[in-house]
Amino acid sequence: MSDARGRTGQDRIGAPPFACPAAGVAERLGTSAETGLSTAEVAARRARYGPNRLRRQKPRSAIAILAHQFKSIIVWLLAVAAGSAFAQGDLVDGAAIVVVLLINGAIGFFTELHAARSMEALFSFAELRTRVRRDGAVKMIEARELVPGDVVILEAGDVVTADLRLLAASNLQCDESVLTGESMAVGKDVAAVAADTVLGDRSCMVFKGTAVTQGAGEAIVVATGMASEIGRISGLVQAAQAEASPMERRLERLGYRLIWLTLALAVVVIALGTLRGHGLADMIQTGVALAVAAVPEGLPVVATLCLARGMWRMARRNALVNRLSSVETLGATTLILTDKTGTLTENRMRVARYLLADRDLRVAADTPLQPGADAALGWALRIGALCNNADLGAEAVAGTGDPMELALLQVARDAGLDRAVLRGEHPEVAEHAFDPARRMMVTVHARDEGYLYAAKGAPEETLAHCTQVWGADGPAPLPAAQRAQWLQRAHAAASDGLRSLALAMKRSARADDDPYDGLTLVALVCLADPLRPNVPATIAACRDAGIRVVMMSGDHAGTAVRIAREAGLCDEAPVVVEGRELVDFDPATAPPEMLARVRAAEVFARVAPETKLAVVSVFQGDGQIVAMTGDGVNDAPALRQADIGVAMGARGTQVAREAAHMVLKDDDLATIVEAVRQGRVIFDDIRKFVVYLMSCNLSEVLVVGLAVGGGLPVPLLPLQILYLNLVTDVFPAFALGLGEGAPGVMRRPPRDPAEPIVGAAQWRRIVLLGG
């Protein structure tokens, strides 16, 4: 905590900067909005606060990856058998087991090392630059050189490089989806807010890692590096504990059972032989032979090859997995907690519908609108393109500017209305920029012998300036009752999680007419972050496989519920838990009724990163195998805590990718279904070859044990048993591990997380086959 306070400069402020007036924050941080910090003061603060940089978790080293290959209890059991052989002077037997261990380790090491390097290649470390005012002059500096008290100049298109308290703002909007999960751009101003205001509502703050989509501003740096909000969340990621995978736990349980079985057999045989008059040294050698016979030496090699094959298959499908065991974990998944923005949705605003005077028109992504078929629709498309400061570029994903304005340009372009052509026909002669007080924007365009006023803004404010509405027969008077109906339509759209803008116009003979007086309402345009096309099918496939899917979003409840319904996650009356219900939520001390509500939830809305982490812990405490999907910084702690975290690679943040166990390079959620299938097939294959190998080993144990019990010479020496286990048994076992899976593998419920690889049914089969 002391580190965070020192790096934020909050020790100078004495209160959260968003709860203090802007002038007070500047004064207490010892800086001036007009001149900024001096060069000498910057040097002193850099020495105190350090560089403005996040501490990145060190990637897994080659040594750590190699050591991980030898953590299995079965590997240790084989190592003990090798040590026993060497102690008895059986150098060939011991060397044979060591070779098996090295082969197994090499396969796992090189497979995981390649995956780790592939994931490292996704991380970008391009150094950002930012504009600051120092010594009274504006200059560009490297972002890492920022210190608390610096005055930063913000413009549209900037990536924010520290946590900032606004000093001035002009139509400033920011995309905070990577931090809060809210897909809409957020308006900013300089007014202080209450000290208990949640992160997503701190309107006088802009945060490191977010982007300025519109407007301009000046702000003072209040937190850098790990003391920023993104740094705090990064710290949660590093504190979250990744658990052993279900396969690792199952193999460990199997290994312990084999240890006790081996010890019991060895003790019984040595004691029986000694009682019959055999020499102790001979019996110890026989005990070693039985131990070698009881342990399936080929199991680690075949299991590693099987998991590696699954890993390679996933890589061909653009899914990078950081560990071999992670492939099987998805197959054991019982619950998927999924983020909304950028995971279920495209994280890109699109026009969802136009509300016209006589109808509601839904906009389909694959069906362009026809502006010539309806006069009101044609004017709505033109107004949205003309009253617009965004730049769409060659493709929507390459555009710059406010996401809502980009969506208006895209729907017009899809309808055949190019903004450049429209402005050629209607040259812009004046602009009345968006005013936070009026919440409207108006542009003036020359047209014929007069002027066209194109307006857009918040429905309430825009309707207040409209005296007419464009109906089926053209402009008509807009009485108060009809204005109220339009507002009800806007509120209904908002309750569905849609963002609405009113589009209006007027014609005038003058370019200097009152831009807000006597407007004609043309339409309300409703925008949304659309669902990815394949998400409903993916959710349906998960349900067919018996996997429960729950949404966890930082966005508002209305938006989250709308997306959940479209995705097929819930019905018309879902169980929704909002973040304000889970303030300071701790699973260890939460009342039973709150835990029951969390367990029943279908949608979590407006949840903070700490809450996501706690919710994952609740379900893991119930014995669930939890997968978490996400792409934002706010998802990263839960991604690390989950049994398997799945991050988006193309649009996901670096923090999220580093926290995840699996990265989808093409952001295709359908890959998860294939991963689940692959994991289930792998478990089935591992179970098949374990049964096969142990039935072979049982035969060897019976042959050696019956010979000793009957006073006969030992028919198989340890080296001969090793040859059987590593040569004659391994290749058939590996063939069993190459199965494509049963046809109904994705239509059965997930297996019980506590179910062992070798259960009662498998033991019966081993006895039947091996006896």
The residues annotated as belonging to the active site are: 339
- Both structure tokens of 75: 């590997």
SS3 737: coil
Q: Is 494 exposed, middle or buried (0-12, 13-18, 19+ CB in 10 A)?
A: middle
Roughly how many angstroms between the first and final C-alpha of the chain, as a whole number?
A: 64
**β-strands 662-664, 644-648 pairing:** parallel
Contact predicate 613/240, CB 8 Å: yes
Alpha-carbon dihedral sign for residues 696, 700, 703, 709: negative
SS3 355: strand
Cα–Cα distance, 345 to 603 (Å, whole number) = 15
DSSP string, 479-528: -HHHHHHHHHHHHHHHHTT-EEEEEEEEEES-TTS-TTSSEEEEEEEEEE
Residue 529 to residues 194, 340, 346, 374, Cα–Cα distance (Å):
29, 10, 6, 26
Cβ neighbour number for residue 469 with a 10 Å cutoff: 23
What letter does residue 310 receive in the DSSP assignment?
A: H
What letter does residue 70 receive in the DSSP assignment?
A: T
Contact predicate 205/182, CB 8 Å: no
Cα–Cα distance, 79 to 543 (Å, whole number) = 43
Q: 103-130 in b/e burial notation, b at 16+ Cβ within 10 A? A: ebbebbbebbeebbeebeebeeeeeeeb
Cα–Cα distance, 348 to 442 (Å, whole number) = 24
- Both structure tokens of 541: 């496939």
In the block, residue with structure tokens 């020499």: 279
Cβ neighbour number for residue 398 with a 10 Å cutoff: 10
Count of helix runs (H) and strand runs (E) in the chain = 28, 24
Cα–Cα distance, 650 to 260 (Å, whole number) = 49
- Both structure tokens of 713: 């010479």
